[in-house]
Structure formats: C-alpha cells, structure tokens
A and B are shown apart, each in its own frame.
Chain A
C-alpha cells in the first residue's frame, strides 16, 4: 500500500492499494451497494486507468469539490469514481470506472484514515495480490480500447508506447477537468 500526499492537499492524504487477480470482486461490490460503512473506499477497475496522474487528478477534483461542498454523489470516495468520467452521468461512471463483478484488477483508494488499519482491513478482505501502484503496472493491466471508447480519444496501442499515452493523458485530464462546466 502507498501513502500519497497530493501537493496543496496536505490535510487529506490518500491510501492507495492496487490488487491484481482479485477473486472476490462481487463481494466487494456488494459491500458498496449495501452501504457497509466499513468499506468506505473508492474501488476502481484498474483496466480503465491510464496512469497515476489520471487517478490522482480524479482524487484532486473529488477532494477539492468536497472542500467546496459541491459533491455530486454520496461521499468523497464515490466522487473519485465519478470524477474519472468525462460526463455527468453518475450511474454510468460507476459502471465504467467502479468495481464490477468481473473486475480482476482493482485499485482501492481511501481519503484520510489510519494507514496501518486500512492496510490490514484491505488485505484481509480483498482476495488478490497487492501490486505497486505505478504507471508500468497500470500499463500492463489497462484496456486501451475501453479507454479509447470512453474518452473518445486516440490512445494508440500498447506498442505505441509512452509518447502516445502522454498525448492521450493530457486530453483525458482536460476532459475530466471540464466536466460539469
């Protein structure tokens, strides 16, 4: 698990943990649907995440909107999922970016909280292998055709490498930032 402090948001550190080969996605999703307060996480489907920046931009927007009392969804964690979306449809954003019953690679994010407690709770409840939250691992697990479809942007193929990805990332971040305007 990684502890990330975003510049300018020192009061709201993030606890981020990437899991590969998750077996109990259905269970995790059910906890969210039931509103189980012990599972207050943003569970993202890692196959639609382009890069670290992509995820962190969504976190920044969600926390900033929370600080300004502008949350469109229930809490800051669901707002992170919603922030990833280029449009205003909340349930669609959950379907696309949130955990689904078929999710294999899952990124769990919690805003604030005690690091040790979160780590033990996550490792106890998520049946998967913890992985490093890095651009390289995300590149391995991401599904470029889905990202291309969601953001309507040409992301190239895996062989196009870094440059095409960076180009796409800049546009993706821009459309996320403009959402709701």
Chain B
C-alpha cells in the first residue's frame, strides 16, 4: 500500500473504494475517523476526505449501523449549516455504506495557531503602551458571531475548540493571497469544522453547554488570553434572538462545572466544612452527624413512608426535606 512497510503492530487502514492511497494524504487521525487531503471532481479542486474505518471489534451489523448513523448525522448537519449560511465546509460526496464523506477543503490555519502566534508576538513587545491587544478582539468577536449563527440554525457543535475553527483568508479560492497575510494572521473568515459530535438540538441547555465547552477549551489552550473570552460572549449575545437567554443559562452551567469555586465565578454552594462551628447548616433532624446520637436508631427514608397528607408540606422550595412521620 505505502512505499514503506508500516511499523510492527500498526494496522494500516484500508481505504474504501474508489479511493487509492496513492491519491490521498493523511492529515490527522481521531478516535473515530481519519482525515485525508485529496482532490475531488476536478484535479485542481482540493478536498477533505473523512473516513470512518471498520471497527473489527464490533459486531459487523452494529458497526455498519453506527457508522451509517454517525456519518449521516455529520453530513446532514453540514448541509443544514450551508443552507442557513453558517460558515462550514460543504459536503461534496458521501457514501454511508462505505463510511466516507468528502468535504470542501478549507484553506488557511486554525484559530488556535492564530491566537498562539499573536500571544507570542504580544509577549515580545517591550512597552505596555504597545500592548493594546485590540487586534485579537476582532477575531474573538468573529468567533462569537460564527457560533451564534451556528446556534441560530439549530445546531450544536459538541466539540467547540480553537482547533476546530479555521481562519480562511478572505477572497480564498485564488491561492497566493494566503501567503501575503502570513500563516497565523488574525485576519480571515472564521469557518467551523469537525462536526463529528454535532447534534441538531434546539434546547437552550445544549447551546449553553456548547459555549461552556468552548470557554473551558479556550481557557486551557490560551491561558494568557483567557481574560478576553468575554468578547466572544458579548458578540454571541448580539448574534440571535435567544442568545441572551443562552448566556443566562451558561451561568447555571458554570456553577455545575468543576471551576465553580475558582476566583472567576462566585461560589454557588458553600461546603459544609466552611460553615463548621459557625451556623448549623441543616435543620437538626436532617443532620447526619447528629443522627447517630439520637434515640431512634433506624429512620425510614421519606420516600418509603406511607403517604402523607399534602398539608404537612410547608410548600415547594422552602424545605426540600418533608417532615418524617411519627
């Protein structure tokens, strides 16, 4: 297949027909799929070939069904986005039985590279005056707008990171312009890629989680620019009608996340240890620590108690623990 034999124990994936290893170049490999660069329909048209190879450990029938489902879900989302004007690569060809999809090739570089390059240049600057940082805010703004357009179309990406966003030089199609602005430039159109985990969802919660994933991914990939992430959210908030509500929901999602106690967000729930010795955190009878000292040894949980009259509840929300039966 290739000019040199593969390393010991490394299985070379078999490309589905009609593709030939001689005409494709492997770009990257994920857990589920392989991405190649090739040409499609014309020798001068570059294209991205995404192959979901067979998984020999799965039952063949199940494997076929899962491959079919996933490749179709991705293609449907891309076509939908294309119709709604969300900047994504279009689908050029597809074979769900064989497990491949050919998409438009996106020229340019990833947002991750662009931001890293900018951070490096910014770090090299001497004076505080020179460090404005305004250039990057334009890019962050365009990211927010792109995600907003995606969500407006009713699609949730599922894996928003700065490496799943490309910066396509404006007026691309004609090669050569890309060189002028230089790889890693902050200019260009933000194009979203890799919809392998995308779903067509209209729930506010899912959109908020999508933003939360981006927020956390951005913070860990670009810690020096983390403080500017608010610009993304600000642009997002203006991008479609329900955006403000999604941002509100994002606050709830953050509180559930692991970062809830960091300095960035005020803590939502105080830990019991914080309150030790100051205030009794729960009503006495519900406190597990005092329960052992009680006379009554075994207490029946409320859910196993015989039905109580409604009046015994003090009302929704005021006390989550209904009083126990005598």
Contact = CB atoms under 8 A, between A and B. Distances in A.
A170 B103 CA distance: 10
Interface in B19-44: 19-20, 23, 38-43
Q: What is the predominant secondary structure among interface residues of chain A facing chain B?
A: helix
Interface in A1-21: 6-9
Contacts of B104: 170
Interface string A122-133: 000000000000
B90 A170 contact: yes
B38 A171 contact: no
A97 B93 CA distance: 19
Contacts of B90: 170-171, 173-174
A7 B102 CA distance: 12
B209 interface: no
B91 A8 contact: no
A53 B45 CA distance: 10
A171 to B, nearest CB: 5
Nearest to A174: B79
Contacts of B43: 7
Contacts of B93: 57, 60-61, 64, 173, 177
B75 interface: yes
Contacts of B85: 167
Given A67-B18, A153-B83, A171-B83, A177 B40 contact: no
Contacts of A170: 82, 90, 104
A60 B72 contact: no
B79 A175 contact: yes
Contacts of B41: 6-7, 53, 56-57, 60
A171 B90 CA distance: 7
A153 B20 CA distance: 34
A138 B129 CA distance: 56
B95 interface: yes
B96 interface: yes
Interface string A116-157: 000000000000000000000000000000000000010000
Nearest to B76: A178
B183 interface: no
Interface in A43-57: 52-53, 56-57
Contacts of B20: 8
Contacts of A91: none
Interface string B184-198: 000000000000000
Interface in B207-245: none
A181 interface: yes
A136 to B, nearest CB: 15
B136 interface: no
Given A8-B40, A60-B93, A68-B97, 8 more contacts: A6-B41, A167-B85, A173-B90, A174-B78, A174-B90, A177-B92, A181-B72, A181-B76
The 4 closest A-B pairs by CB, nearest first: A170-B90, A174-B79, A177-B94, A174-B91
7 contacts: A7-B38, A7-B39, A70-B97, A170-B82, A177-B75, A178-B91, A181-B94
